[in-house]
Structure 1
Amino acid sequence: MTSALLLLQLADSAFPTGGFAHSGGLEAATQLGEIAGAQGLERTLIQSLHQAARASLPLVLAAHADPSRLAELDHLCDAFTTGAVANRASRAQGRAWLAAAAAAFGIPALGDLRRTLRASLDPGHLAPVFGAVTAHLALARADAALLFLFLHLRGMVSSAVRLGLVGPLEAQSLQARLAPTLETLRARADGLTEADLATTAPLLDLFQCHHDNLYSRLFSS
């Protein structure tokens, strides 16, 4: 499979990673009245992308560079992700991502990785697992980083549609407008390591922590 076709398959909404069950804190922020109109949504998405680029992408890139460090980076991610809701969501999505990739591509290394993770007490967080999986799939470093950011944005935009914040057409226009931001953040993160992990949008973390207290919920996080 060419890298272009691989990217298309991994980015396809039909690839069953369970990401659409999570809103990244968008549902809680909406119910708390923190998002006002399309402009407020766009501002929140930009903040969330910057957060992903500093709080997750360094772990993606480190695991991609050396998949043998997955357990070490996984526990670092666990210690860094202090919010219970975000931590739970990251674990669920990481394990689902690995399961889907192992089943879809039949690469022995991915099957071994999944068995090792299931037998261990490692949390299986999304960012380091994503990096290790894309390395085993021989996806280029830059492509892996851009794919991670794209999936983050796509998931948030999809959540916004289901929450009634924007319609499907407006959502696609918004996603297209933010495409240059993905490229910029990907390039900026290229020189980052796990030592550069940082929280850039603490309010989003606080909103997501409130998710379990919502009276009614569409999403798991």
Structure 2
Amino acid sequence: MSQLQYKTTPLSDAEAIENEIADLERRLAEAKEKQRQAQQQRGIAHDAVIPVSSPSQTILHSPANHFLLLLSDSALPLGSFAFSSGLESYLAHNKSSPSSSSPIPKPPKSKPPPPSFTSFLPLSLSSYASTTLPYVLSAYRDPSQLSWLDDTLDSTIVCTVGRRASVAQGRALLSIWERSLAASLPSGSASADKAAKILKPFSALLRQSSSSSSSSSSSATTAGGASNGWNDPPPVSAHLPPLFGAICALTGLSLEQTAYIYLFSHVKALVSAAVRAGMFGPYQAQKTLASRQVQDMIAAVVEREWNTSVDEAGQSVPVMDLWVGRHEVLYSRIFNS
């Protein structure tokens, strides 16, 4: 009896182990099947919640972003490359004076720091923002006030050189709008209708003032200045700040984008002038434009002037008017301002 039990016990243990292995394999197969079904359900739910969008549905193809890239392009032919905004005059008026050969000793004087772009940029940006950014923001918020804002800005500019630069770039921007940008707006849209009501009459006033001033000056020359109203101020001058704000509003840019692009374009013009003036090279120019310091400066002046009305706009750096105004008395110059 003991021998029979000794022979059958190992056989029963082997069968039990095989049965346990089969049960584990069955449970593993069931678990894998459940996992596969769960993955399929998650894939179906993911496809239903987040569909794959076509390129035409992305934000990059919006008209506002397209105009954003156009208006922020350095190749926009505004003629800003011809103006240094006082940088050339700043360099000329801050040169170190030659040492005197007088035998009489003079007490030592503390030398001012040499002119540098890092010193000029914050002053120029602050001045540009305080004098012109309120007009950009006001024209964006109410483009119908374009003519009034243009006339108000023209009456507040005391520097002839700065006024000439603003008018030249503003008229260039208006010409670009008429020849290129206006045709890109969808016909019959609200932006196109508003542009027809605002910019077309403004452009007509500008052409009328230009033709009347030329005819009045010729008649004044022939008649000895006896014509009536030949020296009256023109109805519009087409300054850059209000025109830029109105055009950005019509093309769908946000107010924050408008303010940032306007000031960043000024920084790019200054950097370009510094490169041509030999202050630094093109790689340093790109480093300056990409620096966090420039981003923080632009953000700070935008926040400072965000709620400034045109009645409160004014020069925050008075010496900038002196540098810009004295540009015409330089012995040699490569810029128009």
Same fold by TM (over 0.5)? yes
Match in the other structure for 1:12: 73
- Identify if the C-alpha distance between structure 1 residues 36 and 7 changes in structure 2 by more than 3 Å, giving closer, same or farther: farther
Counterpart residue number, 2:335:
219
Q: Which residues of 2 match residues 154-169 of structure 1 at below 5 A?
A: 154-169=268-283
- Structure 1 unaligned blocks of 5 or more: none
Q: What is the TM-score of this pair, normalised by structure 1?
A: 0.92
| Deviation sequence 1:70-126 (CA, Å, 0-9, x none) | 111111111111011001111111111111122221255266143333224211111
**Greater Cα shift, 173-182 or 53-62:** 173-182
Secondary structure at 1:165's aligned position in 2?
Answer: coil
> Which deviates the most, 202-211 or 28-37?
28-37
Which residue of structure 1 lines up, in the alignment, with residue 203 of structure 2? 114
Q: Distance in 2 between matches of 1:138 and 1:7?
A: 9
Displacement after TM superposition at 1:188 (Å): 2.5
In the TM superposition, 1:199-218 aligns within 5 A as: 199-218=315-334
Of 181-190 and 72-81, deviating more is: 181-190
- 1:143-162 to 2 correspondence within 5 Å? 143-162=257-276
Cα distance in 1 for partners of 2:135, 2:182 equals: 25
Q: Relative to structure 1, is the Cα distance of residues 106 and 96 closer, same or farther in structure 2, using a 3 angstrom cutoff?
A: same
How many percent of aligned residue pairs carry the same amino acid? 36
Q: Cα offset for 1:135?
A: 1.6
Deviation at 1:21, TM superposition (A): 0.9
**Matched residues in 2 for 1:36 and 1:157: separation?**
18
Distance apart, 1:14 and its partner CA: 1.6
1-structure distance, mates of 2:82, 2:75: 13
SS of 1:56 mapped into structure 2: helix
Contact 1:57 1:189 in 2 (8 A): yes
Q: Note the aligned Cα RMSD (angstroms).
A: 1.8
After the TM superposition, which of the residue ranges 132-141 and 99-108 deviates more from structure 2? 99-108
Matches within 5 A, 1:177-188: 177=291, 178-188=294-304
1:202 and 1:59 map into 2 onto residues whose CA distance is 19
Contact 1:75 1:123 in 2 (8 A): yes
Bigger radius of gyration, 1 or 2? Answer: 2
Cα distance in 2 for residues equivalent to 1:100 and 1:17:
8
**Kept after mapping to 2: 8 A contact 1:99/1:114:** no
Is residue 150–residue 242 contact of structure 2 (8 Å, CA) maintained in 1? yes
- CA deviations 1:160-193 (Å, max 9, x no partner) are 0000011111122122221221122222222111
Q: Secondary structure at the match of 1:53?
A: helix
Task: Give 1:77's aligned residue.
Answer: 153
Is 1:31 equivalent to 2:92 in the alignment?
yes
TM-score, length-scaled by structure 2: 0.62
Code of the residue aligned with 2:63 in structure 1: it is T
